[in-house]
């Protein structure tokens, strides 16, 4: 409700490798969809997705009914799903999650490698 714009990018706090080109691609493909959600072979990435603010009443209804499954919320939207073939041009790490100390070490190593190449 506090969004100042019609489009909201929702990204999990443990996904450190956002790609500006992918975000622009999602905006460009949005048309009149409620949401643009990446769909990988392992499943949806609803916490790395673009949502229109008109999704808020739908989300509020789901929450007030006790529904907590993000997949159920996504299924209720007029969403565009970007499949893996469409996502190939973007870095493989864009959907990487930092959940363990090992994941953090991998993320730090990637960042160190990026700095060394700059």
**pLDDT value at position 102?**
97
Tens digit of each residue's pLDDT (9 = 90 or more) over 74-117 = 999 999 999 999 999 987 789 999 999 999 999 999 888 866 66
Interval 5-43: pLDDT, tens: 999 999 999 999 999 999 999 999 999 999 999 999 999
The whole-number pLDDT of residue 116 equals: 65
Domain ranges of the chain: 7-117
**7-117 CATH, one of 3.20.20.70, 3.20.20.140, 3.90.550.10, 3.40.50.300:** 3.90.550.10
DSSP assignment of 62-82 = HHHTT---HHHHHHTS-EEEE
pLDDT at 61: 96
Which pLDDT value is given to residue 4?
Answer: 86
CA angle 112, 115, 118 (to 5 degrees): 155
């Amino acid at each position: 409700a506090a969004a100042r714009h019609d489009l909201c990018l929702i990204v999990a706090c443990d996904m450190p490798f956002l790609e500006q080109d992918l975000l622009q691609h999602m905006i460009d493909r949005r048309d009149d969809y409620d949401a643009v959600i990446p769909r990988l072979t392992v499943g949806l990435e609803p916490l790395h997705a673009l949502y229109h603010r008109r999704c808020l009443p739908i989300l509020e209804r789901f929450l007030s009914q006790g529904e907590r499954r993000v997949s159920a919320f996504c299924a209720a939207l007029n969403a565009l799903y970007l499949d893996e073939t469409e996502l190939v041009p973007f870095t493989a790490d864009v959907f990487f999650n930092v959940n363990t100390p090992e994941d953090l070490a991998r993320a730090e190593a990637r960042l160190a490698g990026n700095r060394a190449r700059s």
